[in-house]
Structure 1
């Protein structure tokens, strides 16, 4: 599952960061996630939870991300991410909550990571995941 590209990024890195940077839609990310095995989905949830921790998400990020995710605020993943401090362990949820957890995690990560790109990494970022090239569809647009 953790195959990497020539530049060292995994498929998970690429898809999650493309969704976070709006180079790929959330629905496209969910379709990719839904096509994985349960073990693959668990791995993705673990990794995206790690990305969210590294982005230093806040409870406010959680609330904003949940609102964007389309998942009810009362769903387990929504409640977990909005706690102060946020709770992780999404891969330990029942499998029927994995898609909701993915939606919530990616959206909350997008909120926190956008803030970090606009503050800490502004004009001086060496993170390869913050410098993704436009998708082929975007490159073709005038």
Structure 2
């Protein structure tokens, strides 16, 4: 078995960024994102969980974002990923969770990222944003 090339890894990272941001901005449902995530290999799922945790950190999630995101995710507040994201400070070892927790972890992370990123787009980036992930191409916005 060969390792993915740097180009393949960059392509996968861009795909992950696109899918997660489309969900966060309402151009794709969380269930659509879940369907994409469920089709990935175990290793790829772990990579995605690390990436999305990084996005959440960059969005500067708050405890309130964590609680709102967990409520939005449909995952029980007592599930490991829910507890981890609502801690102060949040715990980000989602890729280390057992494989049977990955789907819940993805739901929680994307939902929390959606809450935090929406808040930041409406405050810090409103009208002056140059972040490419906040300015998705028109074709991504069309159903």
Q: Which runs of 5+ in 1 are unaligned?
A: none
Asked if residue 4 in structure 1 is aligned to residue 11 in structure 2, the reply is yes
Alignment of 1:123-134 (within 5 A): 123-134=127-138
Counterparts of 2:49 and 2:71, CA distance in 1: 19
What TM-score, normalized by structure 1, do the two folds share? Answer: 0.90
TM-aligned CA deviation for residue 3 of structure 1: 4.0
Counterparts of 1:139 and 1:101, CA distance in 2: 28
Q: Figure out how many residues of one structure are paired with residues of the other and give that number.
A: 136
Pairwise CA RMSD of aligned residues?
1.6
Structure with more helix by fraction: 2
| Runs of 4+, deviation exceeding 4 Å | none
Counterparts of 1:90 and 1:38, CA distance in 2: 13
Provide, for residues 110-131 of structure 1, a one-character-per-residue CA deviation record: whole Å limited to 9, x for no partner: 0000000000000000000001
Alignment of 1:1-142 (within 5 A): 2-4=9-11, 10-135=14-139, 139=142
Counterparts of 1:91 and 1:13, CA distance in 2: 17
With a CA cutoff of 8 Å and minimum separation of 6, indicate the structure with the bigger relative contact order: 2
What TM-score, normalized by structure 2, do the two folds share? Answer: 0.90
Provide, for residues 47-88 of structure 1, a one-character-per-residue CA deviation record: whole Å limited to 9, x for no partner: 000000000001110000000001000000000001111111
